[in-house]
Every structure is written in structure tokens, then in C-alpha cells.
């Protein structure tokens, strides 16, 4: 049998006693209980901003890595600026050659289990090489809504849009923004020009 020593008089012996204390093992089923409880908690997600901030603050991040993150951030900001520029199209509207009609149709199908509208955009531009629709429904991105040329220089596009209020313009040859001359409502774009306004009210039975 080992010799009894008074560890209360020697801190190093007390430290040793603490180290040698038996480890407690979790009761059976604790892990399962924890996992079961966690399943009821919404899945956590990290926001893009906190990811960028985290990357910049990580001690392991080298200066190159930090620089790359800053360049990426700059690129995002520039993109945002471009997006803002798209949202505020040129003030000068299209010329008199424009003839457009907008036909909201409530007789269409209701996509996504809700009421929606099949909206037909029509616009006459005989000499245009391309015409698109840019509006608040597609982040003012003309590339997302190119129109198809029909007979007699008439361009056409159908979109399914949920109820709501939208502003839009036609984009001729990718650079000229023209508000719909046939629109029932227009709204100042804040830069001296106008956007066409489309209001789609919620339908109850389609």
C-alpha cells in the first residue's frame, strides 16, 4: 500500500490528485437525446458577410489571403454599383418609333400553388437587333428577359409574374432604355426619366 501523504500541505500533490480524479462517463443515451433535440432546431447558416469578416479575422489568414478577400469584396461592391446603375436607366425615353402593348392576362395558370399572371410584353422596334425587358422583377437585368422578334418588327415576350407592383423599361440593342409608351401608368425614375408601371393585383380564382 502506498504511503499516505498530506496533499493539503503541498499544492503539487493537490494538482496531481485533481489530474488523477476518475473521469465521469456520460450516461447511455445522452448523445441520442442531444441529437434528437438538435433535430428540432432550425438549421444554422452563416451569412456571407460574417464569412468574409471571419476570413479576414482568422489568425491563420495570410496577408495574401486577406488581400484576396478584400479584392473579392471590392468586386462585389463594384457589381452592386453596376446594379444600381441598371436600376436607374437613362432619362431619355425611346423615340416615336416605339409602339408597345402590354397585355396582363389573368386567364393563365397559377404557378407555384399561388396566383400568378402570364404577362405578354409586346414592343415594335423595326430596326433593333435585340430588345429585352428590364424591370424590378428581374433586378433590371436585360440579359434575363430577351424578347423574340416576330413579324413586322414586333418583339414579344411572355413572363409569369406574381402579384405586385413592378417598374420596367424596354432595352433596345442592350443600351437604350425605353419606357413602355403604351403603359397605363408611369412613374418618375428619380433621374428625370420615367419607368412604366405594371400593377398585378392578386387574383382569387384563376
Give the C-alpha separation, 9 to 2, whole Å: 18
Among 26, 48, 96, 192, binds other proteins (CB under 8 A): 26
Q: Does 28 bind other proteins (CB under 8 A)?
A: no
Q: Which three cell numbers stand for residue 84?
A: 444600381
Among 55-63, 79-87, 106-114, 176-184, which window interacts with other proteins (CB under 8 A)?
Answer: 55-63
Q: Does 24 bind other proteins (CB under 8 A)?
A: yes
* CB nearer to other proteins: pick between 23 and 175: 23
Give me the long-range contacts of 76-79 (CB less than 8 A, separation at least 24): none
Edge-first strand listing for the sheet containing 154-161: 99-105, 117-124, 154-161, 148-149
Taking the mean position of all CA atoms in its chain, how far away is CA 2? 71
Question: Under a CB-based contact definition with an 8 Å cutoff, are residues 93 and 188 in contact?
Answer: no
Among 29-37, 70-78, 167-175, 182-190, which window interacts with other proteins (CB under 8 A)?
Answer: 29-37
Q: How far is the CB of 53 from other proteins (least distance, A)?
A: 7
Q: Does 81 bind other proteins (CB under 8 A)?
A: no
Among 14, 91, 143, 184, binds other proteins (CB under 8 A): 14
Question: Under a CB-based contact definition with an 8 Å cutoff, are residues 88 and 190 in contact?
Answer: yes
Q: Taking each helix axis from N to C terminus, what angle separates 63-87 and 48-57, rounded to the nearest 10 degrees?
A: 150
| Binding-residue pattern over the window 90 to 109 for other proteins, x denoting contact by CB under 8 A | --------------------
- Give me the residues that bind other proteins (CB under 8 A), please: 1-2, 4-8, 11, 13-27, 30-31, 33-35, 37-39, 41, 43-47, 50-51, 53-54, 57-60
Amino acid at each position: 500500500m502506498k504511503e499516505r501523504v498530506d496533499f493539503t500541505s503541498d499544492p503539487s500533490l493537490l494538482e496531481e490528485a485533481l489530474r488523477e480524479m476518475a473521469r465521469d462517463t456520460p450516461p447511455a443515451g445522452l448523445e441520442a437525446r442531444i441529437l434528437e433535440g438538435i433535430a428540432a432546431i432550425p438549421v444554422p447558416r452563416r451569412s456571407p458577410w460574417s464569412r468574409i469578416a471571419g476570413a479576414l479575422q482568422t489568425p491563420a489568414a495570410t496577408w495574401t489571403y486577406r488581400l484576396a478577400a478584400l479584392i473579392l469584396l471590392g468586386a462585389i461592391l463594384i457589381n452592386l454599383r453596376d446594379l444600381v446603375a441598371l436600376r436607374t436607366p437613362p432619362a431619355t425615353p425611346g423615340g416615336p418609333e416605339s409602339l408597345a402593348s402590354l397585355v396582363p392576362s389573368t386567364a393563365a395558370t397559377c404557378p407555384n400553388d399561388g396566383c400568378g399572371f402570364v404577362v405578354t410584353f409586346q414592343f415594335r422596334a423595326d430596326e433593333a437587333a435585340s430588345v429585352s425587358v428590364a424591370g424590378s422583377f428581374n433586378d433590371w437585368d436585360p440579359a434575363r428577359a430577351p424578347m423574340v422578334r416576330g413579324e413586322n418588327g414586333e418583339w414579344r415576350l411572355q413572363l409569369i409574374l406574381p402579384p405586385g407592383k413592378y417598374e420596367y423599361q424596354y432595352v433596345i440593342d442592350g443600351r437604350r432604355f425605353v419606357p413602355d409608351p403604351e403603359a397605363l401608368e408611369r412613374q418618375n425614375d428619380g433621374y428625370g426619366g420615367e419607368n412604366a408601371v405594371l400593377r398585378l393585383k392578386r387574383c382569387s380564382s384563376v
